[in-house]
Amino acid sequence: MDVEGGHQPLPDQSGSVHLVANGEIYNHRGIRAELGSERFVTDSDSEAALHALLVDGPAGLTRLRGMFALAFTTDDGEFVAARDAVGVKPLYWVRRDDAVLFASELRAFDEADRPAVESFPPGHCWTPNGGLVRFADAVPAQVRPARRAEEPGVWDDALVKAVREAVVAAVEYRMMSDVGIGVFLSGGLDSAIVAAVAAEYADRHDQPLPTFAVGAAGSSDLAAARVVAEHLGTEHHEIVMTSADAAAALPRAVHATEHYDPSLVRSAVPNLLLAEYASKRVPAVLTGEGADELFAGYEYYHEAPFTDPGALQTELVRTVGELHHLNLQRCDRTTMAFGMEARVPFLDRDLIELALSIPPEHKMVRPGVPEKALLREAFAGWLPEDILWRGKEQFGDGSGASEVLSSLGGGDSTAGSHPVDGVRLRTEEEAEFYALWHQEFEGIDPARTLGRFATT
């Protein structure tokens, strides 16, 4: 918003208060109305965060609806650093005796500081006087534990309507842009729903909607995305990935994502190629991340021990809280590697609260009923039936990336019982990706920066 006027560091009218922020504040217009538009000197959404902090101090962070990592400072020594509740945007820090350092990327830290680099926790802020304080939870406390369903798998029209309206509102919030927006369309259910809502919004506002799909020649994702794009009438773009493309992108994917988890890297390769192409056409895209964690889309959610409703609910809450170390890290880094922003409607705070308040029994598969049946039913009529009820495929599989990458080497054999550099590596493929990671990030401790993935 306000590309011309929103240069950072962003000052207030006096010039004595400044903010740097990465991300988007979707409710910035509401905050302007609450605080008084006369305070504002730009139309940048980030300025809403500046004045919320100026008026309320760190408590002002609770006003913000969006994705962000930010630092706020005044000439008289006040300082606040903060990260959004889900951790959609990255933030790292180092606490030294003489200074506290913050950055959005691991590579920003000097060699001497790298052993102490940590992931800054989502939903927290830090001030010199108050230290580290939580201001928001990824999963609001009131949704835990979910109530039990009287009749598992049987829901009323009101719940279907509530899910649909929450998704529509979340997508429409994220259509905010002065310079255009597109959709990453994998052909799976989640991105297809996002594209359908975005297309309806674009039609109402008489604006184009570019959609972007990537895959190996003949891949199921490319075919499905084409069907969705034709149904919605979007400006569709396809990137056909070859083995040579994948081989060239693999080291870049490890370095861009700052990660070495095999499933994440495999899916990051096509994401990186897609982002490189799309960034030349739009500054921001919507994606379908988060829906599987909210509505139990992954296959393992439907296996023991998660066939118990309570265990399933606990696992869904856990995985939403861990997204910033895995899928969100891939989503953000592959797009921002080319200066393009990825927005994640399914991780809107209201949608998270609604989805995780749904009885977990409603998210369990039953004979003849696939995963995410409630979400599918909520968007009946919005998509072709074969897309609406298409079975779940991992992005790396549906795009053909897993098959293409497997031809380059690696594999799933064990990496051995001896950890490398004290880091536990589960497979030969992971060991190869770790070697690429280590070239760029030597000195970084994965246990401090990659969370549960690196420690279990």
Beta strands at 124-127 and 131-134: parallel, antiparallel or unpaired: antiparallel
Contacts of 401 by beta carbon, 8 Å cutoff, 6+ apart: 215, 216, 241, 246, 266, 267, 269, 270, 395
- Nearest CA among 227, 229, 221 for reference residue 392: 221
Stretch 8-36: mean pLDDT: 90
- Domain-ending residue, one of 106, 134, 162: 134
Q: Taking the model in full, what pTM does it have? A: 0.93
Q: List all residues 6 or more positions away from 206 whose beta carbon is below 8 Å from its beta carbon.
A: none
For 223-227, 247-251, 393-397, which range has the lowest pLDDT when averaged over its residues? 393-397
What integer pLDDT is reported at residue 401 of this predicted model? 62
Q: Which residues does the annotation place in the binding site?
A: 45, 214
Same domain, yes or no, for 178 and 232?
yes
Q: Where are the beta strands (DSSP E) in 194-353?
A: 210-216, 235-241, 284-286, 341-343
Q: What residues form DSSP beta bridges with 239?
A: 214
Look at residue 195 and tell me whether its pLDDT is greater than 90.
yes
What pLDDT score does 312 carry? Answer: 95
> Token digits for 15?
């010039």
- On whether both 115 and 178 belong to a single domain, the answer is no
Whether residue 392 lies inside any domain: the answer is: yes
Would you call 268 helix, strand, or coil by DSSP?
Answer: helix
DSSP 378-444: HTTTTS-HHHHTPPP--HHHHTSHHHHHHTTS--SSB--SSPBTTB---BHHHHHHHHHHHHHHTT-
> What's the mean pLDDT in 388-394?
75
pLDDT tens-digit map of 328-345: 999 999 999 999 999 999
Number of domains into which the chain is organized: 2
- Sign, CA torsion 69/113/320/384: positive
Could you tell me which residues come within 8 angstroms of residue 36 by beta carbon, excluding any fewer than 6 positions away?
A: none
Bind-site residues for ATP? 214
The sign one gets for the Cα dihedral 418, 420, 426, 432 is negative
CATH of the domain at 113: 3.60.20.10
pLDDT band for 423, please (50, 70, 90 cuts): confident
Residue 221 resides in a domain: yes
pLDDT band at 143 (very low <50, low <70, confident <90, very high): low
For residue 124, what pLDDT band results from cuts at 50, 70 and 90? Answer: very high
Q: Give pLDDT, residue 343.
A: 96
Q: Which residues are annotated as a binding site for L-glutamine?
A: 45
- The answer to whether 372 and 391 are in contact (CB under 8 A) is no
pLDDT (tens digit, 9 = 90+) per residue, 286-315?
999 999 999 999 999 999 999 999 999 999
Which 8-state DSSP code applies to residue 12? Answer: -
Looking at every residue in the chain, the average pLDDT score rounds to 90
* Token output for 216: 């190996």
Residue 456 belongs to some domain of the structure: no
Q: Which of 99, 134, 169 is the last residue of a domain?
A: 134
- Cβ atoms of 5 and 42 closer than 8 Å: yes
Same-domain check for residues 351 and 332: yes
Q: Are residues 126 and 206 in the same domain?
A: no
Q: Say which DSSP state 280 is in.
A: T
> Which residue did the predictor score with more confidence, 30 or 390?
30
Q: Quick one: 203 and 326 in the same domain?
A: yes
152 and 101 in a common domain: no
Residue 1 lies in a domain: no
Cα distance between residue 145 and residue 158, in whole Å:
21
d(CA 233, CA 227): 10
**Per residue in 241-258, pLDDT tens?**
998 999 999 999 999 999
| 430 falls within a domain | no
Q: Tell me, yes or no, whether 419 lies in a domain.
A: no
* 115 & 223 share domain: no
Task: List, in sequence order, every residue forming a beta bridge with 341; answer none if it has no partner.
Answer: 284
DSSP states of 364-383 as a string?
S-BTTB-TTHHHHHHTTTTS
What average pLDDT score do residues 253-269 get? 94
Same domain? For 72 and 161 the reply is no
Q: Clarify whether residues 104 and 167 are in a common domain.
A: no
The predicted pLDDT at position 180 comes to: 84
Reported residue count of the chain is: 456
Half-sphere exposure of 455 (CA within 13 A, CB side): 10
Q: Domain containing 86: what range?
A: 10-134
Give the percent of the chain with pLDDT over 70: 90
Whether 157 and 120 share a structural domain: no
The answer to whether residue 4 sits within a structural domain is no
CATH number of domain containing 265 = 3.40.50.620
Same domain, 119 and 161: no
Residues 278 and 353 in one domain: yes
Write the CA distances from 313 to 184, 293, 360, integer angstroms: 29, 10, 6
End residue of a domain, out of 93, 119, 134 = 134
DSSP state of 175: T
Q: Shortest CA distance to 61 belongs to which of 49, 72, 71?
A: 49
* Beta-strand pair 66-74/17-25: antiparallel
Per-residue CA distances from 23 to 5, 69, 91, 104, 345 (Å): 16, 7, 11, 11, 14
